[in-house]
Amino acid sequence: MFSDTDNKDNRSEILSQPASPSSDNDATTGKNKKAGYAQPQSARDLGNELEINFDEDDLPTKTATKTTRKSFGVNYITAAPAPSSAPLSLMLDSDTDFLALLDCFYRRLFPFREFYRWLSYGLVQRNYFQNRELSFTLASDSYLRFQSFKDGEELKHRILELKPVKIDIGAVYNAKPKEKKSIQEGRFNALERELVFDIDMTDYDPIRGADICLKCWDFMTVSIKILDRALEAEKNKKDFHRAEDFGFKHRLWVYSGRRGVHCWVCDDRARKLNVEARRAIVSYLEVVKGGDENSKKVSLSSKSTHPAIREAEKILGPIFTTRLINNQDILTSPEKYEKLLQLIPDEELKKRLRSSWENKNKRPVEKWSEIMGETQALSKKKPALAATLQEILFNYSYPRLDSNVSIGLNHLLKAPFCVHPKTGRVCIPIDQKYCDSFNPFQAPKVFDLINEISAYDSAHVGGPSVPG
């Protein structure tokens, strides 16, 4: 569903996905006197660091022509959008300039005030926001790191000027990131950053295949439930068997805009964690380890079970047996169930299961019941099988973490509330209490939002409106 290729008549994911319901050049600019809008200058005029090493999955392709680019699957003119005094078309169509959509989105919808208040944390620490790194990815494929601003107004002005297709948030440094080049090497250091987690559906491809659908979102739902339970504040200090692991209170879960979720842990002590502490937290949370070449990615003790594993199993078990077993075709065909059988360390048991399933139209849930019954019965005689069911459960459904994102202080992560450049969907927060009901295909699309604004303005203001 998320194809990155464009053919002659193909619309982008921005337009082809199910509609939302109604409701990665720090340029000084010259003024076009005739049009009245700012035009970015060339990259060589940039004062800050320009990097082109970006994640191809999140950025536009380089298919520019002289006057028109076909990036994000949407035709857009390389010139900047019309000035604020120009009318917006009554209803936007599939050929609408993506940068014009972004311009209107930033002017009318982006929560600049709340964004600034969040990243400044009440300005308890002087220069906290000024020393925060932001990065911008521009429509020209330029990637600008070490951007910093004195306040929210300056940030807003810059974003409206550049109209970045992607905004990333980095660390708080010991100096202003924009002055990095003037600081002696080795003396510019990251001090703080939120503890963040990045979970992407791509890491589940060996289980579910490369396409994404609503059924696949169960993996993200499980991830939110498992990690949030481990991260959250302790509810009952007397119940040590139910105590949450880290006691963090301020946790923001955000839809990535495409096929993943991000978690921002914003507690003061979380932001101050050093690299070693972050690595320890990730190591504690990581259960699934190993690359695609490893069929067995989970190893659990058959003698004793850690309380955190028991708590996670309470969440995983019902979702695995009622949803994942059926929705992900884990046991539907020999090709599928052979992968699962590789996780069982008993050849005789595997032979019996194969014989029971061959040429028989058994449902996946029936096959899983057989695995459970046989394994539990044998585990009394063969202790090595005691943890097998847990290992299968965790191998197929436990969250897969991008550890580098969580550990490195200087690693950046896409900002909440921006627009994903390939899908056009807004990176909206997810209420973890109701994550079961979250539908990524109903996340608002910038195209729909601007259409709604245009329609509202036409009905209530007496004609086409102006962005901003």
Q: Which residues are catalytic?
A: 133, 198, 200
Tokens of 296: 């067995």
Tokens of 326: 């059926």
Rounded Cα gap, residues 323 and 219, in angstroms: 10
Asked if 373 and 356 touch (Cβ cutoff 8 Å), the reply is no
Rounded Cα gap, residues 170 and 192, in angstroms: 9
Neighbours of 339 (CB within 10 A): 16
Tokens of 148: 């910093």
- In the chain, how long is the greatest CA-to-CA distance? 85
Alpha carbon 184 to its chain centroid, in Å, reads: 35
Rounded Cα gap, residues 428 and 416, in angstroms: 6
Tokens of 270: 């979380």
Asked if 178 and 134 touch (Cβ cutoff 8 Å), the reply is no
Asked if 131 and 174 touch (Cβ cutoff 8 Å), the reply is yes
H/E segment holding residue 75: strand 74-77
φ/ψ of 31, rounded to 5, equals: -100, 130
Sheet architecture: strand order including 429-430: 195-200, 260-265, 251-255, 429-430
Distance (Å) of CA 183 to CA 50, 91, 175, 301, 435: 17, 50, 9, 50, 45
Neighbours of 234 (CB within 10 A): 15
- What angle, rounded to 10 degrees, do the helices at 334-341 and 347-357 form? 160
The amino acid occupying position 45 is D
The amino acid occupying position 401 is L
**Degrees (nearest 5) of the Cα angle 153, 455, 468?**
15
Tokens of 204: 């589940």
